[in-house]
Structures are given as structure tokens and as C-alpha cells.
Amino acid sequence: MNVIVVGCGRMGAELAYQLYRQGNQVVVIDQSTNSFDNLDPGFRGRTIEGDGLAQDVLNRAGMPEADGVAVVTNSDVVNAVIGHVAQSVYHVPKVIVRNYDARWQSLHDVFGSVVVSSTVWGAKRIEELLHYDDMRTVFSMGNGEVALYEFIAPETCQGCTLQDLFPPDICRVASVSRAGHAMLPEDELLLHAGDVIHLSATPANMAELRARLIPVEEA
């Protein structure tokens, strides 16, 4: 892929290097030459000093031929505008925009961009780790609105059905692994102690689910 990363702070530099390591052709844009010092010494992509809002800079970076663009500066306004230009003017197939300040989330919503908020996602992830040690987060989707959790059934779950413990109006069970074998389970599946259940839920629904499971665990 031909990928352009706009913004070479810590996030942009790490992203650019990871993309380069995966074999992509990477161009990094930043208005400060010093920012390129954040790049790993092993990075061999192109760097362009200039304003990411300037058309000539975007053209020199290869925006017309880009397969993907990541706009990750520390300015939500800049990110929103460049992301919108990449989509509407250059018709780049994949455009990802960073939300730096959660208070500016509504700006990105107006443009309809695919947004990643490191602040919101990070805060939700830390909160989950602090409170949900019995349900490990495997993967967070979007900005943490929905996550995939792993739950190991204790002895008190023996003989309970999936739908008894994990009602579909609260969560979705993706798989149950038993003795190292994963399956797509039916709602009537009887659980065994030690079963590994992977389920998706929102943080709010996870709190409700834990409230249901705590009496089961303490019974």
C-alpha cells in the first residue's frame, strides 16, 4: 500500500514505522523538521516538511495515488479538514483521522470520518483493567464503545446455560472454547467449569452483566 501519515509526533512516528515494517510505501508529512527525529532509525520511508493543509504538499506526498491516509496531528481541526480533503477531493479509499481532544469528537462526526480517539479509548481501556479483572478485554472496537471480553467460567457456572448467564439483550457470545476446542455455541449450551467464553458488549452492558454474574460466582 501507498500510505501517507500526516503528523510526526509520537503516535505518527510509531504508526509510520509499523506501516513501513509491514512492507508499505510510507510518506510522512510534518511542518517541523525536528519532528522527524521521532522516527525510528530503521525507517526508510519518505519525509516531507510542509503544511499538511497545502495542496502542493499533499500532491508531493502522492495523495492522488495514495491507498490510505492517517491524519494524526495534535489539532482536531487540522485532522478533520485534511481527512475531509483526502476523502472528498482525492478520493483516497482509506482515511483514518485522530481525535486528539475528546471535546472535539462532534467535529469529526460532522465530516463522517473514521475516527480513532487515543484519549477516549485509553481511558476506557484503563478503566476496564481496573474494574474488570475477572473479564479480560481482548479487543476494543471503535473508540472502546464495544469490546470483546474473555471470561473463564468458574465452578459455580457448571450446568448453567449460556442464555441464563449471557442474555442476548446485554451481550453477544462469539465463541466457547472447551478443552482447547472452540465452537460457535447454541444458547442452550450447558457450561462446564473452565470453559473460555468470548463475548462482545458495551462497557455499560458489561457492568450490568457483571452484576448478574457476581451472585453466581459467590453462590
Which CATH number does the domain housing residue 142 bear? 3.30.70.1450
Residue 169 pLDDT greater than 90, yes or no: no
> Number of structural domains, the chain?
2
Per-residue confidence (pLDDT) for residue 217, from 0 to 100: 45
Domain span at 41: 2-116
> What are the distances in angstroms from CA 80 to CA 85, 109, 130, 144, 215?
9, 9, 32, 20, 47
- Cα separation, 59 vs 51, in Å, equals 12
pLDDT digits (tens, 9 = 90+) for 25-63: 999 999 999 999 999 999 999 999 999 999 999 999 999
Same structural domain, 111 and 11: yes
Same structural domain, 83 and 163: no
Q: Are strands 181-183 and 172-178 parallel, antiparallel or unpaired?
A: antiparallel
Same structural domain, 160 and 55: no
Residue finishing a domain among 81, 116, 151: 116
Predicted model pTM: 0.66
Average pLDDT over residues 101-115: 82
Q: Where are the beta strands (DSSP E) in 76-185?
A: 94-98, 114-116, 136-141, 146-152, 172-178, 181-183
More confident residue, 27 or 123: 27
Per-residue confidence (pLDDT) for residue 218, from 0 to 100: 46
Same structural domain, 112 and 129: no
Same structural domain, 106 and 11: yes
Residue finishing a domain among 71, 93, 116: 116
Mean per-residue pLDDT of the chain? 88
What are φ and ψ of residue 66, in 5° steps? -70, 140
Average pLDDT over residues 11-26: 96
Alpha carbons within 13 A on the beta-carbon side of 43: 21
Average pLDDT over residues 16-27: 96
Same structural domain, 109 and 150: no
